[in-house]
Chains A and B, each alone.
Chain A
Amino acid sequence: MNRDALKKTVLDALSTVAPELAPSTLRPDEPLREQLDIDSFDFLQCIVEVDRVLGVSIPEEDYGRLATLDGFVDYLARRLAAPGTQSSLPTQESGR
């Protein structure tokens, strides 16, 4: 799955909790929650939706990597590049 398709998946998931979302106004490198006025519960719902669509279960400790649209897409790209991986990414990938 290429990055554009992953991006669309994330945007679709975001729009289930924030249907007013206008993708063209979204800054890919800025935190999603502030831009979209979504609270933690909304964000959780969004992650659940991504899991449902892509079959990628995201452990809670990785949520920090999903804060921006670019970060979210990067994370998913790496996870999908490692077939069968259902666990957290290696710690050296965390960047934190």
Chain B
Amino acid sequence: MDAQVLVKSPAAWRVAPNLRDYEDARARFSWEAAERELAGLPGGRGLNIAHEAVDRHVLEGRGAKTALRWRGKRGERKDLTYAELSAATHRFAHALAGLGVHAGERVFSLLGRIPELYVTALGTLKHRAVYCPLFSAFGPEPIRARLQLGDARVLVTTSALYRKKVAPLRASLPGLTFVLLVDGGGESDTLDFHALLARASERYEIQTTSPEDMALLHFTSGTTGRPKGAIHVHRAVLAHHVTGALALDLHPEDIFWCTADPGWVTGTSYGIISPLTHGLSSVVDEADFDAERWYGLLAEERVTVWYTAPTAVRMLMKAGDALPRRFDLSALRFIASVGEPLNPEAVLWGQRALGLPIHDNWWQTETGGIMVSNYAAMDVKPGSMGRPLPGVEAAIVRRLPDGGVEEVSRPGVEGELALRPGWPSMFRGYLHEDERYRKCFASGWYLSGDLARRDADGYFWFVGRADDVIKSMGHLIGPFEVESVLLEHPAVAEAGVIGRPEPTIGEVVKAFVSLKDGFTPGEALRRELLAHARTRLGAVVAPKELDFLPTLPRTRSGKIMRRLLKARELGLPEGDTSTLEAPA
């Protein structure tokens, strides 16, 4: 699978990349030196994410530049300059102060992709409160769990979302003192967001902020148990800034579009913070995925750098190669993807249909920022997540019986992907869950729970989650490898592969697939798909069983829920399905 390499040539650079020589950049890099790119709070008062993202640009004379280009569901447009964003966030910080909200207290948002979300996030950080985004499509139960686990003091939402999902829970949330509605509303026991801001001064001085002060709380779903709130601190902004420059190749003149919802870590780290620290203009689309709309946005907004997700890429692939040709995508110069591994076909599809390869990268809620990546000036091996960021030490480790781990240096060996602690955006804890936090570390490594291998050239290849891996006849089988091959078949829209326990051989590789429009499930196609996988993978790796499903269950962030497929297969309880899309 390493056969095809997309070779990068300086002749193809439309903009000189920030990272031009990977080895050289890695050798020279230090976080201490990189920190000089940050402004710091005036008067040596520390480091605050919101100052780096917004106010510094105003102080340095770039206030008139567009920070956010918002496009509403119904075609509305609203641009916010850095100066306007600075004033609005100052007002919000003031409003929080006026309510008596203290530094360190949690301010949640439950909002779609609207300008108020960005004001809430950055204004909260200015006030040194802690911002915690909730995905607006959550149902009441996951909302309740997160508000409770996160000790929510303030919630910013809409009256519709409040009525439907929060008001019935309000009695169970005694710590939730203030609910601010961005559309006024007049619900009892709520405040009018805009009325509060209108009364607040737009002059606000960010108070002394320690780089280690808690800034962000991102909930992530564990393999078991309740959600975990990963704590990030203000110093994370250094990683947001640096990784934006090196992995996404952000330049101040870029028009950047991160399609991730800010209800998730990607949509916060790279949908809000990172692009703003670079002083560029960020596109925000309120609407959900639609292939034609997306191509239209890329063309009309002259997007130059685009950060999206494999699910979206594959949906665009389904929409066909002819569609993008109807749009002028000539401004686009760099495409990246995150969320789950990008199969080689998707990388190559980008090259074919959009004229650019898609650069996969890897990171987690816990890492706060991109850790392993493909780069504009580094050859791409389709299917590989790339190489560790400068300043990030990644390794493949093997767990030992004594609870420690040891590094596996031999290329091509599967093991757990581990990172050496010390990068600035590393999570500093799971809120109120010290034991779960400690379990993430061993022998001086952060253990990601993801299985990967590193090839002889230092490229990392995702294999699967440690707990999704299939062991069959003594062989470890990575579901992603199997899914990638199934996805190569023209009939397959989605594929999820699990290990079905089987007494003789441990587990049988079982695939679930959904089909593209125009294909009908049936025995002939089932056999064709099995044959396809067997021919490509061999009997040891290929699925032995295959079922058709109308759609595969996915998390809201787009990952196929293999665990749920497995639970259904075994007739077990499905567990916490709060992060699922509409059940199939």
What is the chain B residue whose CB lies nearest that of A43?
B539
Tell me, yes or no, whether A95 is within 8 Å of chain B by CB.
Answer: no
Interface residues of A in 1-48 (CB under 8 A from B): 15-20, 37-42, 44-45
Contact B544 A37 (CB under 8 A): no
Contact B539 A19 (CB under 8 A): no
Known: A19-B530, A44-B504. 6 other contacts (CB 8 A): A19-B528, A20-B531, A41-B544, A42-B539, A42-B544, A45-B544
Residues in B with CB closer than 8 Å to A44 are 504
Q: A39-B473, A41-B505 are in contact. Are A17 and B544 (CB under 8 A)?
A: yes
Contact A18 B544 (CB under 8 A): no
Contact B531 A39 (CB under 8 A): no
Residues in A with CB closer than 8 Å to B534 are 18-20, 37
* Cα distance A18–B544 in the bound complex, in angstroms: 9
* Cα distance A44–B473 in the bound complex, in angstroms: 14
Contact B544 A15 (CB under 8 A): no
Contact A37 B530 (CB under 8 A): no
What is the chain B residue whose CB lies nearest that of A15?
B527
* Cα distance A42–B509 in the bound complex, in angstroms: 12
* Cα distance A37–B528 in the bound complex, in angstroms: 16
Give per-residue flags for B516-558: 1 if the beta carbon is below 8 A from chain A beta carbons, else 0.
0000000000011011101100111000100000000000000
Q: A41-B473, A41-B504, A41-B544 are in contact. Are A19 and B527 (CB under 8 A)?
A: yes
Q: How far is the CB of B408 from chain A (nearest CB, A)?
A: 27
Tell me, yes or no, whether B515 is within 8 Å of chain A by CB.
Answer: no
Picked from B473, B504, B508, B535, the residue with its CB within 8 Å of the CB of A20 is B535
Chain B interface helix/strand/loop/mixed: mixed
Q: A19-B534, A20-B534, A44-B504 are in contact. Are A39 and B540 (CB under 8 A)?
A: yes
* Cα distance A46–B502 in the bound complex, in angstroms: 16
Residues in A with CB closer than 8 Å to B544 are 17, 41-42, 45
Q: How far is the CB of A67 from chain B (nearest CB, A)?
A: 16
* Cα distance A15–B530 in the bound complex, in angstroms: 10
Q: How far is the CB of A2 from chain B (nearest CB, A)?
A: 26
Q: How far is the CB of A8 from chain B (nearest CB, A)?
A: 16
Residues in A with CB closer than 8 Å to B539 are 18, 37-39, 42
Number of A-B contacts (CB under 8 A): 34
Closest 4 CB pairs of A and B: A19-B527, A20-B531, A19-B531, A39-B539
Residues in A with CB closer than 8 Å to B505 are 40-41
* Cα distance A19–B532 in the bound complex, in angstroms: 9
Chain A interface helix/strand/loop/mixed: helix
Residues in B with CB closer than 8 Å to A20 are 531-532, 534-535
Q: How far is the CB of B475 from chain A (nearest CB, A)?
A: 10
Residues in A with CB closer than 8 Å to B527 are 15-16, 19
Q: How far is the CB of A54 from chain B (nearest CB, A)?
A: 20
* Cα distance A17–B544 in the bound complex, in angstroms: 7
What is the chain A residue whose CB lies nearest that of B545?
A45
Q: How far is the CB of A43 from chain B (nearest CB, A)?
A: 10
Residues in A with CB closer than 8 Å to B528 are 19
Query: What are 5 A-B pairs at a CB distance below 8 A?
Result: A18-B534, A19-B531, A39-B539, A41-B508, A41-B544
What is the chain A residue whose CB lies nearest that of B532?
A20
What is the chain B residue whose CB lies nearest that of A36?
B539
What is the chain B residue whose CB lies nearest that of A18?
B534
* Cα distance A45–B544 in the bound complex, in angstroms: 10
* Cα distance A39–B534 in the bound complex, in angstroms: 11
Interface residues of B in 470-511 (CB under 8 A from A): 473, 502, 504-505, 508
Contact A37 B538 (CB under 8 A): yes
Residues in B with CB closer than 8 Å to A40 are 473, 505
Q: How far is the CB of A31 from chain B (nearest CB, A)?
A: 14
Q: How far is the CB of A70 from chain B (nearest CB, A)?
A: 22
Residues in B with CB closer than 8 Å to A39 are 473, 539-540
Q: How far is the CB of B528 from chain A (nearest CB, A)?
A: 7
* Cα distance A16–B526 in the bound complex, in angstroms: 10
Residues in B with CB closer than 8 Å to A45 are 544
Interface residues of B in 36-79 (CB under 8 A from A): none
What is the chain B residue whose CB lies nearest that of A41?
B505
* Cα distance A40–B506 in the bound complex, in angstroms: 13
What is the chain A residue whose CB lies nearest that of B526?
A19
Q: How far is the CB of A17 from chain B (nearest CB, A)?
A: 7
* Cα distance A39–B535 in the bound complex, in angstroms: 14
Interface residues of B in 192-229 (CB under 8 A from A): none
What is the chain B residue whose CB lies nearest that of A33?
B539
Choose among B473, B532, B534, B538 the residue with the greatest number of A CB atoms under 10 Å from its CB: B534
What is the chain A residue whose CB lies nearest that of B475?
A39
Residues in A with CB closer than 8 Å to B473 are 39-41
* Cα distance A18–B540 in the bound complex, in angstroms: 12
Q: How far is the CB of A80 from chain B (nearest CB, A)?
A: 27
* Cα distance A83–B420 in the bound complex, in angstroms: 70
What is the chain A residue whose CB lies nearest that of B524?
A19
Residues in A with CB closer than 8 Å to B531 are 18-20
* Cα distance A19–B508 in the bound complex, in angstroms: 17
* Cα distance A91–B534 in the bound complex, in angstroms: 37
Residues in B with CB closer than 8 Å to A15 are 527
Q: How far is the CB of B237 from chain A (nearest CB, A)?
A: 52
Q: How far is the CB of B280 from chain A (nearest CB, A)?
A: 51
Residues in A with CB closer than 8 Å to B532 are 20
